[in-house]
Amino acid sequence: MIIGIDLGTTNSLAAYYTEEGPRIIPNRLGKHLTPSVVSVDEDGQVYIGETARERMLLHPESSAAVFKRSMGSEKIYELSGKKFLPEELSALVLKALKEDAEYFLGEEVTEAVISVPAYFNDERRKATKRAGEIAGLKVERIISEPTAAAIAYGLYQNRENGKFLVFDLGGGTFDVSILELFDSIIEVRAVAGDNFLGGEDFTRVIEQIFFDKNPEIDKEKLSDRELRHIEKQAENCKVGFADNRVSKMSCRINDQNYEMELSIDEYEIKCDELLDKIRQPIKRSLSDANVKLKDIDRVVLVGGATKLSFIRKFVGKLFHNLPDTSINPDEAVALGAAVQGAMKERKDSIKEIILTDVCPFTLGTEVVLEKENGRFEDGHFCPIIERNTTIPASRTERLYTVNDNQTQIRCKVLQGESRFASNNVLLGEIRIKVPKAEAGKEAVDVTYTYDVNSILEVEIKVVSTGEITRQIIKTNATDMTEEEIKERMEALAYLKIHPRDKEENKLLLLRGERLYEESIGAERMQIEYALREFEKALDTREESVIEGARRDFKEFMEAFTE
């Protein structure tokens, strides 16, 4: 079975396909969303998901979150003396989702379709694929998040033909994609976005408002734990706007309570700068697709951050169109990825469909340009496959020698939008020999071929001799060999993943410890007593006793936090 996975910045989830359509796979706690958080204790015990998020509030120095924003980079996260790349942390989250799927489905899961932001470049996409492989999954396809959402809407909501825009504002990234649905074809017309804009940024706005309203708090002197506590309360405040126009935030710092009341109108004004950043990718995608606002038949909202009421109002005003939220914005991408997996398996119940995607960034090479004085200036970018070209695509550009008796031509393979080569991402480099001749007499045809799995093949043909050199571009983010995957898996083998059957107990203990630290006086004594009673029940190792104590302790904490 091929499952669909939405590997998110804030939360991740998995889905599978049934004869009645795609369904979300619950995690070990029975919930749909698994927080994309990893925490490691001093014994090398690894916690993933909600338990890790709770532990992060107590031990921020040995926990990591929002690492998706660093995918494809060499950034190192050090947790309890253990070092991780972003893809390795992502692999741990994917492994947890894989195990939960196997437990729920009652069979081994070895294949997956994994989604990525549409605006992820080649390195980030390949790093995501590597993460899946390290987790023990064969990644059948890397699919863009808005495309996955479009599949879910286009196939299972009985939509008529037309153009629609997918507005995807997740925890850490923002994508906008314009797609056209016609009969059995879903064609991506254009994508644009911002890999560093998402719900986390809207949470930081509330944090800043909190500090502004409580100037006596010196942010620079706060510990990591106190900062995490404020971040958590800011997130709760943001969630509070789902049902109210006024939300409250309360933090306990240095045994003193600090409170804030915030209206949705004041919050929206403070978010103006972020809303302006949202407008730019929308304008760019419409321009690239050669589509006007009035041509958009439907706007689809995807991503948890679109639950904010003023985001929905903002989108409605912008497009003069009530946005479609008929599918849970947290789940649309995973559901679509599951459908894509079923397509790969050629399930009989799925309508035959052709799905096209586009190249999110321009691919080109470095060239020299002749200036007015006859001198040459190097470092310029020559586009070969333009952004938003439908893929698979193949394009050719002829390049000439610039020096007399030149013996070779160097082809730098670049990805980006700047007219200067140095500002774009270097994917690789190929050198090819050419016969000696006068400047401009020898030439090579450079052909780029880019497929749906973000594989780039470069072919260079010497025009005068017919000699051809072909190369699949391999960077630090290329596919891993089986030996390399095995080495990375073994490198992480010392880690002990927390047993799934003890997950809920550990989560409740961590939550209780956090409440204890946040309280004082009689309240603290009450929590300590409840914690001890629950720990006594756990020591009995009798499931019936533990189950009753777990229920009582859970009810106690729920009443305590009301």
DSSP 258-289: EEEEEEHHHHHHHTHHHHHHHHHHHHHHHHHH
Long-range contacts of 272-275 (CB under 8 A, 24+ apart): 274/197, 274/201, 274/202, 274/205, 275/314
Position 24 confidence tier, pLDDT thresholds 50, 70, 90 = very high
Mean pLDDT computed over 311-316: 93
Please give the residue that has the higher pLDDT: either 75 or 486: 75
pLDDT band of residue 493 (cuts 50, 70, 90) is low
Annotation: CATH topology of 199-272: Actin; Chain A, domain 4 (3.90.640)
Q: How far is Cα 448 from Cα 430, in angstroms, rounded to an integer?
A: 13
pLDDT at 119: 81
- Token output for 493: 């083998």
**pLDDT (0 to 100) of residue 283:** 92
Q: 265: which 2 tokens?
A: 């109108």
Q: What is the rounded CA–CA span in Å between residue 477 and residue 107? A: 31
What is the bridge-based pairing of β-strands 162-169 and 298-302? parallel
Residue 187 main-chain phi, psi, to 5 deg: -110, 125
- Residue 550 has, within 13 A of its CA and on its CB side, a CA count of 17
User: Which residues are CB-contacts of 176 (< 8 A; sequence separation ≥ 6)?
Assistant: 146, 165, 166, 167, 168, 191, 192, 193, 281, 282, 285
- Per the prediction, the chain carries an average pLDDT of 89
**What does the alpha-carbon distance between residue 174 and residue 7 come to, in Å, rounded to a whole number?**
14
Residues 6+ apart with CB under 8 A from 162: 180, 181, 297, 298
| Amino acid code (one letter) for 8 | G
Q: Which long-range contacts (CB under 8 A, 24 or more apart) does 80-88 make?
A: 80/40, 80/41, 80/42, 80/44, 82/40, 82/44, 82/495, 84/38, 86/127, 87/127, 87/128, 87/130, 87/131, 87/134, 88/131, 88/134, 88/488, 88/492
pLDDT average, residue stretch 59-79: 93
- Residue 285 scores a pLDDT above 60: yes
Closest CA to 24 of 11, 35, 15, 33: 15
Percent of the chain whose pLDDT exceeds 70: 93
Q: What is the per-residue pLDDT for 500?
A: 60
| Separation between Cα atoms, residue 221 and residue 454, nearest integer Å | 46
Report residue 468 as tokens. 């051809």
Q: Which two tokens stand for residue 308?
A: 């904010």
Highest mean pLDDT among 7-11, 216-220, 423-427, 541-545: 7-11
What are the backbone angles phi and psi of residue 420, rounded to the nearest 5°?
-105, 130
Q: Lowest-confidence range among 491-495, 504-508, 509-513? A: 491-495
Q: Give the confidence band of 62 by pLDDT, cuts at 50, 70, 90.
A: very high
Distance CA 126, CA 124 (A): 5
- Split at pLDDT 50, 70, 90, the class of 254 is confident
CA distances to 98, 99, 116, 432, 442 from 65, rounded to whole Å, are: 19, 20, 17, 44, 53
Instruction: Summarize the confidence of residues 33-37 as an average pLDDT.
Output: 97
Look at residue 521 in the predicted model and tell me its pLDDT.
79
Q: Which fold has domain 363-472?
A: Substrate Binding Domain Of DNAk; Chain A, domain 1 (2.60.34)
Q: Rounded distance, CA 307 to CA 298, Å? A: 18
Residue 535 has pLDDT above 60, yes or no: yes
In angstroms, the CA 266 to CA 273 distance is: 13
Predicted local confidence at residue 477, as pLDDT = 44
Mean pLDDT over 205-223 rounds to 93
Token reading at 301: 């909202």
Give the model's pLDDT for residue 562: 58
What pLDDT is stored for residue 351 in this prediction?
67
The predicted structure's pLDDT at residue 358 = 87
Q: Taking 50 as the threshold, does the pLDDT of residue 476 lie above it? A: no
pLDDT (tens digit, 9 = 90+) per residue, 408-432?
999 999 999 998 999 998 988 999 9
Residue 181: which pLDDT band, with cuts at 50, 70 and 90? confident
Q: H or E stretch including 155?
A: helix 145-156
Question: What pLDDT does residue 478 have?
Answer: 46
Going by pLDDT thresholds of 50, 70 and 90, the confidence category of residue 474 is: low
Contact between 380 and 369 under an 8 Å Cβ cutoff? The reply is yes
pLDDT at 320 over 80: yes
Q: Please tell me the pTM assigned to this model.
A: 0.82
387 has pLDDT over 80: yes
Helical (H) or strand (E) element with 334:
helix 332-344
| Residue 468 scores a pLDDT above 50 | yes
Query: Cα–Cα distances in Å, from 30 out to 33, 50, 500, 540?
Result: 9, 11, 11, 25
Is the pLDDT score of 352 beyond 70? Answer: no
Helix (H, G, I), strand (E, B), or coil: what is residue 509? helix
Tokens coding 525? 């004594």
At residue 343, the pLDDT reads 86
Cβ-based neighbours of 558, under 8 Å, separated by 6 or more: none
For the chain, the domains span 2-198+273-358, 199-272, 363-472, 500-560
* Mean pLDDT value across residues 369-374: 76
Q: What is the largest CA-CA distance in the chain?
A: 90
Residue 167 has pLDDT above 50, yes or no: yes
Is 475's pLDDT higher than 50? no
Looking at domain 2-198+273-358, does it have CATH number 3.40.109.10? no
pLDDT by residue (tens digit) across 95-129?
Answer: 999 999 999 999 999 999 999 998 888 888 889 99
CB 413 within 8 Å of CB 363 = yes
Closest CA to 119 of 288, 335, 309, 308: 288
Contact 382, 444 (CB under 8 A): no
Retrieve residue 333's tokens: 């991408």
State both tokens at 239: 């969630």
Contacts of residue 307, defined as CB under 8 A and 6 or more positions apart, other chains included, come to 242, 329
pLDDT band for position 495 (cuts 50, 70, 90): low
